[in-house]
Structure 1
Amino acid sequence: MKSNNGSPVLIKKHHLEDWIGRIYTTFCVSLLVIVIVSMMYFVASKGLTTFIKDGVNVGDFLFGTKWDPNGDNPVFGALPFIVGSFATSLLAALIASPLSICAALFMNEIVPSWGKRLLQPVIELLAGIPSVVYGFVGLSVIVPLFRDVFPGQGIGIAAGSLVLSVMILPTITSIASDALSSLPKGLKESSYALGATRWQTIYSVIIPTVMPSLLTGVVLGMARAFGEALAVQMVIGNAPHVPRSLFESASTLTSVITLNMGNTVMGSVQNNALWSMALALMVMTFIFVIVVRLLERRHQL
């Protein structure tokens, strides 16, 4: 029966909308889980084929220093590329972290009135620039500069790290800025009430309080740098050996995969070895995510 004010009809309509929303949300979440699990299974099955079917030793793959897939006795040592990926990511994080944290402090603690109006558009612009533009600028500006100042040809770990540091600046700065802006005002006011200066408050109260969030931003920036391919590929030299200096050409996992995947036959040993590198990248991504979760849990405690 329909009442005079029509409330039963409205209740039924709300129930119908609620069920449609639940079904749609459940479908989207299920599809997302299926896609993620499928990608993980596909990469893992392809990557493990190198060791299970092709007989490549895991230790030789991870710690071997020679990469010669086309020789009479093919050798698949991925250590030079692993070292290159870690070296560029760590050095980029070391360069970008102080700059990003200082930029976030400038915007939120020193001159919050006009600091964000000045730096926020610049940070957003850096985040929107394509990777190939970073690589082209690095190839046209950074590499010739290093060639004139330092020994070598200018390409190498240093050039790749400098390009990556600019690329991960927006990530670390945004997370640090959000952490600083979410601090309760009473925390700083209490420090000022005890007679602390602005800088004493910053390095004795604010930075220790938001340190887990700052470390989270650094780890996410490293994850971003670890998975970058095109920009690093253009300035690092792509040499398959362990570099002995920052100004010697090297290579990364992503560079090797992008350069060689299209030139291999699907199912061949070399193709499977490239998938094993992709599996290593995926595992490192999981490790970065776990570290971020641990830091967030520490921040909540």
Structure 2
Amino acid sequence: MPEGHTLYRLAREQQLLFAGRPVHVTSPQGRFGAGAALLDGRVLDEAYSYGKHLFARFGGDSLHVHLGLYGSFTTGTGTPPPAKGALRMRWEADGPAGAGVWTDLRGPTTCEVLSTPEVDHILGRLGPDPLRPRTDGTLAHRRIAGSRTAVGTLLMDQSVLAGIGNVYRAELLFRHRVSPFRPGREIDADLWARMWPDLVALMRSGVRMGRIVTTRPENRSRRSGAARPEDAHYVYRRTGLPCRICGTEIRTQVMVGRNLYWCPVCQAT
């Protein structure tokens, strides 16, 4: 499932290409036909993300998209390709440089038109998004510190933190030597004061690079230049491989329906 940095990049791209312009909205597949007809020809005021949700505001109506596990956007310039297969939604507009621009949406969990109160209701259920400007991470800590649930579970709860997925969960906990099984109430304020800015920095880095890199240069096989894919993470998808710090085999088990990765020595407590 795409994590928050991916949705942030998508929203920024759509803002750049479509905002302030009338957008031709269609649903070649037909499943979003009524919503497409409601938005077609209207000017896009703003595209933005919050956590794993993408919103596009057309006056008093907003398009709400959640990609889920299989959803994806494809964007291009010029004439769009023939519409084939399960194409849920297509946007077309005159781009900022005069050339046509388009974006296709396939396979989302959610694609719907909402009123402003309905958007506010969704946002009200979400925890702080580390990518939003001037976000206060103390709200997330209050929810974590008030719970006996394992912190590895809490970090995947979008009502605690918005935009965090399996990769950021595993890597953030490793970077701070925290066991994913530690109860949330044992994450004290001093520890969270180190974890929160680190998470913000990691996610902003993900926005810039378009991928998640959590390793420090000194922990990679090649210490200069960009991190190779095999050097990008400490524990994520490294089951059975040696820990980059202590050499212990990385372990995995299912937590909250997703594979959890951790080092049993570096993250013993």
Establish whether TM, by shorter chain, passes 0.5: no
TM-score normalized by the length of structure 2 = 0.25
More helix by share: 1
More strand by share: 2
TM-score normalized by the length of structure 1 = 0.23
- Bigger relative contact order, structure 1 or 2 (CA pairs below 8 A, ≥6 apart): 1
